């Protein structure tokens, strides 16, 4: 029997572990209604680039407009000749994005992501000029400025022509971050207490988990929690905790529950990765597996001319094609087979990760896979 690739073995060794639901904290699987993230966006200019910026007319106009705001006399691009336009390879027009947390207060700092909007090749060494960040309501909530940190680089050796002789690149040098690069100017206060209750929202909605959370909370704080639906649990603040809601919410978040999850098999076709949950079951089914091996070869053949003919002996290649089908035994899986048992059966068949993807899809089509099959293209 041929060896099974590591990715198959590792996946099924994990799935074959004994069934044991571990306790997790409520705060790790829920969010609090009213405490949400707000997205911010802005448009600015990065300076200080070492010739890796943009020389396009759009970026030039942005730079001129900025200089005019600083009372620097300048003419519009349309009023200048083509050879006299403000040109610099050290600037780039960028878009900024940031997340304003529900508990960020005025004067606190948040991270900013910077991405090029023009044809700049790298933001390495760039400095962001003061840029306002706005929300969906067009209100300025923060102001960003500072040096950009990149998670990649790009280097090229010039050949004197339009194309470089050699170049190398890692990750994306046209996007970077400014840690703590924005100062909050306008805060959005979270309101988590509504009519004397706090609502916890499950990140993965499940009726069993929702009921379990309510049961655990009621065990510590009797008659306070109600499972509203599969995705939310409403908890009434006890009278003795009304004046210390922060401590009450913190204590509830530290309570541990045993979450229940639906059976899923996740497949990434691009990398051949398969992740199967412990609740996946297989109905009674017969599986066979076989590969068609096709090989080609060329054997030299001498070609001689007829007697007294004006020709020469030459060697000609003759192609040969061989087809061999590798037979596979039929594996019969019993009803309610677990992933561990399926692993042993597929390993006996010598299935590769690519073969497993096809087998799981076929099992789902046949109605024998009792789980959600999620196929990801990335």
Tokens, residue 160: 């004197």
Are the CB atoms for 283 and 335 separated by under 8 Å?
A: yes
Q: 196 and 128 share a domain?
A: no
In a shared domain, residues 12 and 43 = no
Which residue in 2, 71, 30 sits closest to 209, CA to CA? 30
State the residue range of the domain holding 299.
6-19+264-376
Q: How many helices (H) and strands (E) in the chain?
A: 6, 25
Q: pLDDT per position in the chain (378 positions), as tens?
A: 343 333 333 334 333 334 445 689 999 999 999 888 999 999 999 999 988 888 888 888 888 888 878 777 655 544 554 444 567 789 999 999 999 998 899 999 999 999 999 988 889 889 999 999 999 999 999 999 999 998 765 555 555 555 555 556 566 788 999 999 999 999 888 888 888 999 999 998 899 999 999 999 999 999 999 999 999 999 999 998 888 999 999 999 999 999 888 888 888 777 777 787 777 877 776 766 665 443 444 466 666 776 766 667 766 655 444 444 455 555 555 555 666 666 666 666 666 777 777 778 887 888 878 888 888 765
Dihedral-angle region of residue 96 (phi above 0 means left; psi in -120 to 50 means alpha; beta otherwise): beta
Chosen domain end from 208, 238, 257: 257
Tell me if 198 is assigned to some domain. yes
Instruction: Decide: pTM greater than 0.85.
Output: no
> Would you call 323 helix, strand, or coil by DSSP?
strand
- How many domains does the chain contain in total? 3
Q: Is residue 1 part of a domain?
A: no
Structure-token match 């005019």, residue found: 68
Helix (H) or strand (E) holding 14: helix 6-15
Q: Which tokens is 345 given?
A: 């059966």
- Could you tell me whether strands 314-326 and 109-116 are parallel, antiparallel, or unpaired per DSSP bridges? unpaired
**137 and 199 both lie in a single domain:** no
What length is written for the chain?
378
Of 224, 257, 290, the residue that ends a domain is 257
Cα 337 from Cα 345, distance rounded (Å)? 10
Cα dihedral: 350, 354, 357, 360 (round 10): -20
Domain's final residue, options 201, 230, 257: 257
29 to each of 24, 26, 205, 212, how far by Cα in Å?
Answer: 8, 6, 10, 12
């Amino acid at each position: 029997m041929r060896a099974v690739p590591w990715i198959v073995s590792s996946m099924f060794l994990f799935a074959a572990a004994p069934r044991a639901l571990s306790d997790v904290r409520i705060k790790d699987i829920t969010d609090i209604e009213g405490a949400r993230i707000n997205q911010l966006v802005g448009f600015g200019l990065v300076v200080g680039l070492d010739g890796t910026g943009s020389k396009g007319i759009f970026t030039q106009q942005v730079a001129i407009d900025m200089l005019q705001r600083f009372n620097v006399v300048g003419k519009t691009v349309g009023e200048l000749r083509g050879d006299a336009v403000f040109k610099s390879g050290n600037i780039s027009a960028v878009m900024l994005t940031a997340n304003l947390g529900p508990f960020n207060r005025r004067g606190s700092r948040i991270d900013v992501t910077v991405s090029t909007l023009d044809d700049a090749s790298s933001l390495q060494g760039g400095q962001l000029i003061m840029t306002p960040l706005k929300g969906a309501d067009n209100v300025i909530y923060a102001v960003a400025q500072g040096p950009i940190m990149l998670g990649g680089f790009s280097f090229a050796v010039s050949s004197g022509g339009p194309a470089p002789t050699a170049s190398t690149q890692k990750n994306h040098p046209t996007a970077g971050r400014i840690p703590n690069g924005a100062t909050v100017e306008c805060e959005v206060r979270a309101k988590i207490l509504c009519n004397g209750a706090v609502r916890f929202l499950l990140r993965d909605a499940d009726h069993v988990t929702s009921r379990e959370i309510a049961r655990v909370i009621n065990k510590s704080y009797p008659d306070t929690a109600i499972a509203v639906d599969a995705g939310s649990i409403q908890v009434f603040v006890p009278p003795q905790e009304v004046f210390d809601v922060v401590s009450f919410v913190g204590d509830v978040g530290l309570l541990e529950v045993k979450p229940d999850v639906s059976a899923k098999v996740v497949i990434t076709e691009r990398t051949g990765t398969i992740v199967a949950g412990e609740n996946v079951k297989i109905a009674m089914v017969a599986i066979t597996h076989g590969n068609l091996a096709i090989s080609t070869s060329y054997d030299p053949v001498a070609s001689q001319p007829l007697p007294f003919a004006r020709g020469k002996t030459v060697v000609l290649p003759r192609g040969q094609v061989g087809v061999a089908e590798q037979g596979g035994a039929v594996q019969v899986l019993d009803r309610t087979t677990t992933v561990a048992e399926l692993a042993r059966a597929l390993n006996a068949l010598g299935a590769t990760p690519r073969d497993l993807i096809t087998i799981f899809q076929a099992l789902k089509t046949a109605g024998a896979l009792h789980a959600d099959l999620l196929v990801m293209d990335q």
